[in-house]
Chain A
Amino acid sequence: MEAKIRTRMGDGALVEMTPAQIRADLEAGTLAAAKRSKSAELTSAELDHLSEIFCSNSRFTGVDIGDEVVLSYDGCGSQDLGTRINDLQYYEQYLCADSLELYHHDYSYKPAKAVMAFEQDVMRQAQFVTTAPLGYGAMPDLGLYTVPDGPVPNWSQLLPLGRIAESRAAQEEAVELAADDIVYVADEMVEAGIEFIDLDTAGAAGDADFLAALKAIERIRARHPDLGIQIGMAGEFVLGMHGELEYDGVRLAGLWPLDQMKLAAKAGVTIYGPAINTNTGKSIAWNVARTLTIAKPCCEAATVPVHLNGGMGVGGVPMHVLPAGDATCRASRAAVDILRLDGL
């Protein structure tokens, strides 16, 4: 009888699978992803390497000595213990993060704008007591500009009514409001000493959300040539909530990581973070194979550093608030080994 390996499902549940089953899942995962994102499947040698990583009962695994990458953290700390500055200190000194990010608990640029004077003061203090690169992050979060939270008509209500033109106009209006807010926060934070700005979960509300981020990045780059600008995506595929929006002549709806990266680099980012979602009904072997297949073309063509999103529910990490370390370390190692990533 074939040995049983303890491994996990995408929802974090511990299951037992045989090495043959794991190998089959890896093959099915890369095939599904290649078909869906129209990219090449992983090679046989790559699948062999993934099999080695996943067909093990070891509680922990890691990359080879010398292959370590840079780890950036969006939103450092839970803000429950001590102060936000303490959070940054713990991340720097205990977790040994390579870069740090201060954030307002209401993690969007719109609410952050309302408290900027206070955020600047905290940033100034934090800069005095930390050594690692320290930035400020939030989400573009286009939805906040719609009724009932904001002034713009709600396209999620207009679309089901077939009011397409109005829904598109609303999204275009929200793009400008969001870009203004992001640029405002970046300007104020540069004054307070940040080393980079992070636009996290970009594209969460679709193509207009991504466009707001790109437009903001372009303006920030023009004003601050040396500022680090990091973008992290919300999902693997830009949803066509508007459908016709373009940046630099490229239609945004339907873009996969390779083209997302090209536009982000064009707009002026210094770090691009693709996000590939986890399927909770499949094993983590399946999910990792899928993630790597989708991210690979982007990593091969990258002109800027790529930090793959490896948080809960993305990058092959289980969709569970307490992601099991055995699963996270496998996803981490697999991505670094196969993709030659710049960071996570």
Chain B
Amino acid sequence: MQITRGMRLTEAKTYVAGKLGVSVLDLSDPTVMLDVRKELGLGGILESGEITDIDDPMGIEAKFNIAAVLDVPVNCVERFRAKAGRRRPAQI
């Protein structure tokens, strides 16, 4: 939110907490965020499939979901959509 929207820290934390449905304190608590990120498909530490399962989004997959959850465009996701969808853009 700082990068894309230029929000100051307090504002950015409040915005993200609102979108994720958690408290501002939770945002820096790994115990809480593991479950939140898993539930919303926002990616995480891999540890060979032991923390983040292979069913959980990782890398750019997670960024697709981050863009949707935070309601911000993510550049590489937009480019992926354009490149991977050249046959039927409506599909992607």
Q: Within 8 Å by CB, do A and B touch in the complex?
A: yes
Interface centre among A14, A79, A105 (most CB of B within 10 A): A14
Do A14 and B50 touch (CB < 8 A)?
A: no
Set B29, B32, B46: member contacting A80, Cβ < 8 A: B46
Do B46 and A320 touch (CB < 8 A)?
A: no
Within 8 A of A (CB), among B38-68: 45-48, 50-51
With A12-B31, A13-B31, A14-B29 given, is the CB distance from A321 to B48 under 8 Å?
no
Do B31 and A14 touch (CB < 8 A)?
A: yes
| List of A residues within 8 angstroms of B31 by Cβ | 8, 11-14, 318, 320, 322, 324
Chain B residue at smallest Cβ distance from A325: B30
A44 contacts partner chain B, Cβ-Cβ < 8 Å:
no
| List of B residues within 8 angstroms of A322 by Cβ | 30-31, 33-34, 45, 51
Do A79 and B34 touch (CB < 8 A)?
A: no
Do A80 and B48 touch (CB < 8 A)?
A: yes
Q: How far is the CA of A13 from the CA of B34 in the complex (A)?
A: 12
- How many residues of chain B are within 8 Å of chain A by beta carbon? 13
Q: How far is the CA of A8 from the CA of B30 in the complex (A)?
A: 12
Do A105 and B30 touch (CB < 8 A)?
A: no
Q: How far is the CA of A78 from the CA of B33 in the complex (A)?
A: 20
| List of A residues within 8 angstroms of B50 by Cβ | 321
- How many residues of chain A are within 8 Å of chain B by beta carbon? 15
Q: How far is the CB of A90 from chain B (nearest CB, A)?
A: 14
| List of B residues within 8 angstroms of A321 by Cβ | 34, 45, 47, 50-51
B90 contacts partner chain A, Cβ-Cβ < 8 Å:
no
Chain A residue at smallest Cβ distance from B58: A80
Do A14 and B48 touch (CB < 8 A)?
A: no
Q: How far is the CA of A13 from the CA of B31 in the complex (A)?
A: 6
Q: How far is the CA of A78 from the CA of B25 in the complex (A)?
A: 28
Within 8 A of A (CB), among B7-30: 25, 29-30
Chain A residue at smallest Cβ distance from B31: A12
Q: How far is the CB of A117 from chain B (nearest CB, A)?
A: 23
| A binding-site residues for B, Cβ under 8 Å | 8, 11-14, 78-80, 105, 318, 320-324
Instruction: Other than A105-B48, A321-B34, give 9 A-B pairs with Cβ distance below 8 A.
Output: A12-B30, A79-B48, A80-B46, A80-B47, A318-B31, A320-B30, A320-B34, A321-B50, A322-B34
A-B contact pairs, 20 of them (CB 8 A): A12-B30, A13-B31, A14-B29, A14-B31, A78-B45, A78-B46, A78-B48, A79-B48, A80-B46, A80-B47, A80-B48, A320-B31, A321-B45, A321-B50, A322-B30, A322-B34, A322-B45, A323-B30, A324-B30, A324-B31
